[in-house]
Amino acid sequence: MIEDDPFSIRPAKLPAAHEIGADLSTLSEAELEERITLLEAEIARLRATLNGKRSSRAAADAFFKR
């Protein structure tokens, strides 16, 4: 629940594991490595989704060009 409003039924928003542009000066080497690993995994997920969409579009283009 949101702490400011005890009657709120909305859960409190958790901070993101990494926010683009955030200050990195307070992070340790281990924390920086962890964030890099997290972001690399997210990039891989984004690339896989993009490739899937491209494949679907190519299949649709090939089907409708006949």
Q: How many CA atoms lie within 13 A of 3 on its CB side?
A: 2
* 6 C-beta neighbours (distance < 10 Å), count: 7
Q: Which amino acid is at 5?
A: D
pLDDT for residue 54: 97
pLDDT < 50 stretches in the chain: 1
